Structure 1
């Protein structure tokens, strides 16, 4: 979201010729531009065309000299890409790559999980923070969303590493976290943050934030990030017609408030400018990995403590619970006119009087017979 979309592109056959002239495979181009190999193949066959920042990166890769293409696409620090770490440090090796038909016959350089994660983070995090800021209008929430997404990616790295689009996986996770309605319950999110300094930037951000979240996300993915309509629909979990309807509605809402942005190219340019004016920096990848590991340890310990508590409660219940069945006492019943025997309890006044009289009588009285021992 940092370049304009008006870069002229040659025809499909010329794209293929330029790629082969630079000794690049479709997988190499996909890794440099940040898309899948199937997307590059569809560009070279004419089924689709690149858009937005992807179009700029693709054109720059095919037209610039080899020693300049990699730093311009990967970043100022020339961070190696996870699939081709050696090309960022030595751009001249691009000419030594084998033809497309021989790429599977040569060994692919491997990276450790830490190196691959750090490369993906350096490649995606800076732009993703700016995109999330346009999605939420909050700087701290944008940074937090990206960090949480990468922490989850590190926790599930075996799954993310083999995903066909790891950058898209992280982007979707960050967007989902940023748009969660639970953030409204947090105290610091009940007060708005300071808006951008420029009046035009404030107006555009205000229009974006007034859109429904799903419309805002669709507009950002299509006119901001530069995804095509099927990819936008897949990432927003909608059908292609539904995504197209949301996009048109969002564009109409923006054009109604800001008529100068009715042209999609101008809207893309203004989104890029709005994202670039904020000095939003992501944390270091080591910090994100450490935070993810600490969070995993915390939840592991909590799960262990809960399991121990559950086992203790179960043991206590087994020790104190009765181990056999005791039938309840049946209530008394009248048998042949004999009144039921009352259970022991407090004596009545008549019974107390009779008890006292019997205790006061002597054993030698005429009313009592005492057996004698002979």
Structure 2
């Protein structure tokens, strides 16, 4: 049975989603306000009827480029600051956010229909920033200069000593202002597990910085730390063009690789033998064969026989059918 500690009470940080909801309600009420009509103008134009649809009631739909640029302008600056709290590296924070928006542009139909496009991009940016493969990159092996303020430097050091899952939960809940179920869903954990991580993260930060035991003070200090650094994101057209160049590069690389494989296969089929040829066995030394015997000196009998053969006729019937004597 999993037991969780009770999260310390404190004023919950303002939720960005609630502020956006208020803005949308205000905008909706402003658009639904009745249109005041007057009399006809002196030029003879007819007056506008109250039940006639106004031109502003049907705004022109945004193009994909305009919608992406609007999402980037709304989320990128704050997202870079949040990612800096996770990594403590300015360049890595910008790179992670740009990579997240490039992936969003590649899957823009899916992201545009999502219920929370900002949350989709934020989750991808956090995953890119907390990837363990960054430790093998030479440019990220040495630490970056810490903040100039001692209090900010102490808070950042306390955040970086937390495990990545605890750090992400703390930034989402106390920094971004999400509630506990949303934090658990974004960190892919259950609500009790997210509550346990949040409790342990607060305790670890309070142990290093006792002044941050209050959640409201911790939220304020996180916002100050993120806002104190001069972190800027690239322009939206640069992100879109960079994504498109990356897609073109990988497409051409895939085509070149495919052509190379096809050429290598064709060359192999052209030069490969069509029948099996048994390999020639290597030469080996033969042992156990007696050496050839050499001719020794002739005996007297052999010498007499040789002399007799030399004196006899070399042709004639006697050579063919010798008669006994």
Q: Common fold, TM-score beyond 0.5? A: yes
- Secondary structure of 2:233's match? coil
- 2:214 equivalent in structure 1: 263
Closer, same or farther: CA 330–134 of 1 in aligned 2, 3 Å = closer
Runs of 4+ in 1 over 3 A off after TM superposition: 58-63, 91-97, 106-109, 328-331
Q: CA deviation at 1:325?
A: 4.5
Equivalent-residue separation in structure 2 for 1:140 and 1:181 (angstroms): 16
- Are 1:305 and 2:256 counterparts? yes
Q: CA deviation at 1:51?
A: 4.6
Contact 2:13–2:216 under 8 Å retained in 1: no
- Which of 218, 222, 226 is 1:275 aligned to? 226
**TM-score, reference length from structure 1:** 0.63
Unaligned runs of 5+ in 2: 1-9, 36-56, 295-313, 315-325
Larger RCO: Structure 1 or Structure 2 (Cα < 8 Å, ≥ 6 residues apart)?
2
Contact 2:130–2:164 under 8 Å retained in 1: yes
- 1:131 equivalent in structure 2: 82
- 1:244 equivalent in structure 2: 195
- Secondary structure of 1:322's match? coil
Deviations 1:211-244 (A, max 9, x none): 0011000100111111111111111111111111
- Are 1:189 and 2:189 counterparts? no
- Which of 103, 108, 118 is 1:157 aligned to? 108
- 2:269 equivalent in structure 1: 318
Equivalent-residue separation in structure 1 for 2:221 and 2:157 (angstroms): 13
- 2:242 equivalent in structure 1: 291
Moved more, 316-325 or 295-304: 316-325
Q: CA deviation at 1:94?
A: 5.8
Closer, same or farther: CA 189–330 of 1 in aligned 2, 3 Å = closer
Equivalent-residue separation in structure 2 for 1:184 and 1:259 (angstroms): 31
Contact 2:83–2:125 under 8 Å retained in 1: yes
Equivalent-residue separation in structure 2 for 1:109 and 1:264 (angstroms): 44
**TM-score, reference length from structure 2:** 0.72
- 1:231 equivalent in structure 2: 182
Closer, same or farther: CA 323–268 of 1 in aligned 2, 3 Å = same
- 1:95 equivalent in structure 2: 33
Unaligned runs of 5+ in 1: 7-49, 71-86, 98-105, 332-342, 354-365, 367-374
Contact 1:52–1:223 under 8 Å retained in 2: no
- Secondary structure of 1:117's match? helix
- Secondary structure of 2:33's match? helix
- 1:213 equivalent in structure 2: 164
Q: How does 1:1-374 map to 2 (within 5 A)?
A: 51-54=13-16, 57=19, 61=23, 93=31, 95=33, 109-325=60-276, 328=278
Contact 2:15–2:178 under 8 Å retained in 1: no
